Amino acid sequence: MTVSEQGSWSVERILGVSNAYWEGAVLQSAVVLGVFTALGESALPGQQLAVNCGCDARALEMLLDALCAMGLLVKEGGCYRNTRESMMFLCKESEQYLGYIIAHHFHLMRRWAQLPDAIRTGRPIHSGPPESEEQREAFLMGMFNLARLVAPRVAKAIDLSGRHKLLDLGGGPGTYAIHFCIANPSLEATVYDLPSTEPYARRTIETYGLLDRISFEPGNYIEQELKGAYDVVWMSHILHSMGPDMCKKVIGKAVSVLEPDGVLYVHDFLLNETRDGPLFPALFSLNMLVNTSEGRAYSELQVRSMMEEAGLRKVERVQFESPNSSSILKGTL
């Protein structure tokens, strides 16, 4: 994308981008403090909400007023209430809750604040204590929040008719396996991920009533060889966490469990050939810089070459419109 296509950089736009994190911090803080969930369908004064959330009343009212200014709360007669959208997306009881991914963004923020250090050293930022269970839940269920928005579209874009066994490699809470099985009644799936992921995967799979068709296999695809035979392997958003050599190794492992004429699908944020766009994959590459030792976003050409090197033929891009700039490549054994 050229500069003209992106739009001109006025003083207002430059300053707006520079302080855009203010609004993000307000939203993230409100989610982490449980403000929207504590309000629910009620209208409460700030002091009562401060008691419910365990916050200082003066400070919380400043946060609540900022949320009103952003259009996420409404203030009437000294009381605050949720909007229709905040009830839908930010209250934990809602099926469309996005709070986990927002909490994950909150945990990422302290590392992003040290981006200059990562640029100087070329190394990830290690800050704070080891990952807590709260952070793990925010990450894994945040992936569910995002994948739930994309997976139904993916399931429509990919023809799995005639396929019977699918491996969701690094599948996290199993969101894609769930939607593939919903769209293909004869399909069974295995979600392969770290043992610590299993409780979250089983919880989401059970929610959709698919425990009889989707199993979970604990393991580490970087350190261990894969077992079994599948006619489909799905790899979603795992390559960007690794360096090129490890990407090739993992793709090779995925191909090793494919049956003849089996297919591998790679889903990720792919850059263009010159790696200067699209915007989200370019920014996401920096997210990998501050969080991993070798991770990055790859171009479509780079991933295509890795797949061909692993012995796949007819590597092609799946026609698919993604709301978050992700892309899918398909290769056949």
Which residue in 235, 236, 217, 237 sits closest to 227, CA to CA? 217
Q: At what angle do helices 99-112 and 279-291 cross, to 10 degrees?
A: 70
8 A C-beta contact, residue 166 and residue 177: yes
Residue 130: predicted pLDDT: 64
Whether 180 and 166 have beta carbons less than 8 Å apart is answered as yes
Q: What is the dihedral of CA 190, 196, 199, 201, to 10 degrees?
A: -40
- Collect all residues with Cβ–Cβ distance below 8 Å to 159 and sequence separation of at least 6: none
C-alpha distances (whole Å) from 168 to each of 35, 136, 179, 288 are: 35, 20, 11, 22
CATH number of the domain located at residue range(s) 133-332 in this protein: 3.40.50.150
What pLDDT, on a 0 to 100 scale, did the predictor assign at position 126?
83
Count CB atoms within 10 A of the CB of residue 149.
Answer: 16
pLDDT per residue over 110-160, tens digit each?
Answer: 999 999 999 999 999 986 666 788 999 999 999 999 999 999 999 999 999
Burial of 220 (0-12, 13-18, 19+ CB in 10 A): exposed
**Lateral strand order in the sheet of 214-218:** 214-218, 188-193, 165-169, 230-236, 258-268, 327-332, 313-317
Instruction: Tell me if 226 sits within 8 A of 190, measured CB to CB.
Output: no
Neighbours of 311 (CB within 10 A): 13
Predicted confidence at residue 2, as pLDDT, reads 45
CA-CA distance, 289 to 299, in Å (whole number)?
16
Does the fold of domain 133-332 match that of domain 3-97? no
CB 290 within 8 A of CB 127: no
Give me the pLDDT at residue 128, please: 63
Q: What is the CA radius of gyration of the chain?
A: 22
- Asked if 160 contacts 232 with a C-beta cutoff of 8 angstroms, the reply is yes
Distance separating the N- and C-terminal Cα atoms of the chain: 34
Spell out the residues 6+ positions from residue 212 whose beta carbon is closer than 8 angstroms to its own. Answer: none
Q: What is the pLDDT of residues 252-264, one digit of tens each?
A: 999 999 999 999 9
pLDDT score recorded for residue 324: 79
Burial of 27 (0-12, 13-18, 19+ CB in 10 A): buried
Where do the domains of the chain lie? Answer: 3-97, 133-332
Which architecture characterizes domain 3-97 according to CATH?
Orthogonal Bundle (1.10)
* Under-50 pLDDT residues of the chain: 1-5
Rounded CA separation 248/267 (Å): 15
Reported pTM: 0.92
Q: Specify the pLDDT at position 6.
A: 65
The per-residue pLDDT for 159 is 94
Using alpha carbons only, give the angle 265, 269, 271 rounded to the nearest 5 degrees.
110
